[in-house]
Amino acid sequence: MDNKVKQAKYSLEFKQDAAKLVMEKKYTCQQAADSLGGSLSAIRRWVSAEKGAISATGSEQTNLGLAEREELIRLRRERNNLLMEREILKKSAVFFAKENG
Protein backbone atom coordinates (compact mmCIF):
# COMPACT_ATOMS: atom_id res chain seq x y z
CA MET A 1 0.00 0.00 0.00
CA ASP A 2 1.40 3.38 -1.02
CA ASN A 3 1.35 5.97 1.77
CA LYS A 4 2.78 8.89 -0.21
CA VAL A 5 1.15 12.23 0.45
CA LYS A 6 0.67 14.35 -2.63
CA GLN A 7 2.08 17.83 -2.27
CA ALA A 8 -0.29 20.55 -3.39
CA LYS A 9 0.86 22.77 -6.27
CA TYR A 10 0.22 26.45 -5.72
CA SER A 11 0.71 29.21 -8.26
CA LEU A 12 3.31 31.89 -7.74
CA GLU A 13 0.57 34.48 -7.30
CA PHE A 14 -1.10 32.41 -4.59
CA LYS A 15 2.19 32.07 -2.70
CA GLN A 16 2.89 35.79 -2.97
CA ASP A 17 -0.62 36.70 -1.85
CA ALA A 18 -0.34 34.34 1.13
CA ALA A 19 2.96 35.94 2.12
CA LYS A 20 1.41 39.41 1.78
CA LEU A 21 -1.34 38.45 4.21
CA VAL A 22 1.33 37.90 6.84
CA MET A 23 3.69 40.71 5.88
CA GLU A 24 1.24 43.48 5.04
CA LYS A 25 -2.10 42.56 6.60
CA LYS A 26 -0.42 41.42 9.84
CA TYR A 27 -1.98 37.95 9.85
CA THR A 28 -0.08 35.37 11.82
CA CYS A 29 1.23 32.45 9.78
CA GLN A 30 -1.31 30.22 11.53
CA GLN A 31 -4.20 32.56 10.66
CA ALA A 32 -3.10 32.69 7.03
CA ALA A 33 -2.79 28.90 6.88
CA ASP A 34 -6.23 28.46 8.43
CA SER A 35 -7.94 30.97 6.14
CA LEU A 36 -6.27 29.69 2.97
CA GLY A 37 -6.36 26.00 3.79
CA GLY A 38 -2.62 25.60 3.34
CA SER A 39 -0.04 24.17 5.67
CA LEU A 40 1.63 26.28 8.30
CA SER A 41 5.11 25.25 7.17
CA ALA A 42 4.37 26.24 3.56
CA ILE A 43 3.14 29.68 4.64
CA ARG A 44 6.28 30.17 6.72
CA ARG A 45 8.51 29.19 3.78
CA TRP A 46 6.72 31.60 1.47
CA VAL A 47 6.93 34.47 3.95
CA SER A 48 10.59 33.71 4.57
CA ALA A 49 11.28 33.64 0.85
CA GLU A 50 9.60 37.00 0.36
CA LYS A 51 11.31 38.65 3.30
CA GLY A 52 14.77 37.28 2.67
CA ALA A 53 15.69 35.31 5.75
CA ILE A 54 18.69 35.78 8.00
CA SER A 55 20.65 32.66 8.79
CA ALA A 56 21.16 31.28 12.28
CA THR A 57 24.71 32.63 12.27
CA GLY A 58 23.41 36.13 11.74
CA SER A 59 24.90 36.67 8.31
CA GLU A 60 22.74 37.64 5.37
CA GLN A 61 21.81 34.85 3.01
CA THR A 62 21.20 35.40 -0.64
CA ASN A 63 17.63 34.13 -0.53
CA LEU A 64 15.48 34.61 -3.55
CA GLY A 65 11.93 35.81 -3.47
CA LEU A 66 9.21 33.55 -4.79
CA ALA A 67 9.22 35.13 -8.25
CA GLU A 68 12.99 34.85 -8.56
CA ARG A 69 12.93 31.25 -7.35
CA GLU A 70 10.27 30.32 -9.94
CA GLU A 71 12.29 32.03 -12.66
CA LEU A 72 15.48 30.26 -11.56
CA ILE A 73 13.75 26.88 -11.74
CA ARG A 74 12.39 27.70 -15.19
CA LEU A 75 15.78 28.90 -16.42
CA ARG A 76 17.54 25.79 -15.10
CA ARG A 77 15.07 23.55 -16.95
CA GLU A 78 15.54 25.59 -20.12
CA ARG A 79 19.34 25.40 -19.75
CA ASN A 80 19.22 21.62 -19.33
CA ASN A 81 17.08 21.31 -22.46
CA LEU A 82 19.49 23.51 -24.41
CA LEU A 83 22.50 21.50 -23.25
CA MET A 84 20.79 18.29 -24.33
CA GLU A 85 19.90 19.76 -27.72
CA ARG A 86 23.49 20.94 -28.18
CA GLU A 87 24.81 17.45 -27.46
CA ILE A 88 22.41 15.98 -30.01
CA LEU A 89 23.52 18.53 -32.60
CA LYS A 90 27.20 17.76 -31.92
CA LYS A 91 26.60 14.04 -32.40
CA SER A 92 24.62 14.58 -35.58
CA ALA A 93 27.34 16.88 -36.97
CA VAL A 94 29.95 14.21 -36.33
CA PHE A 95 27.72 11.57 -37.94
CA PHE A 96 27.12 13.61 -41.08
CA ALA A 97 30.78 14.63 -41.30
CA LYS A 98 31.78 10.94 -41.28
CA GLU A 99 29.09 10.08 -43.79
CA ASN A 100 30.13 12.83 -46.24
CA GLY A 101 33.86 12.50 -45.73
pTM for this one?
Answer: 0.57
Residues 6+ apart with CB under 8 A from 95: none
User: Is the pLDDT at 59 greater than 60, yes or no?
Assistant: no
List pLDDT tens digits, range 2-56: 566 677 888 888 998 999 999 999 999 999 999 998 899 999 999 988 887 434 3
3-class state of residue 91 by DSSP: helix
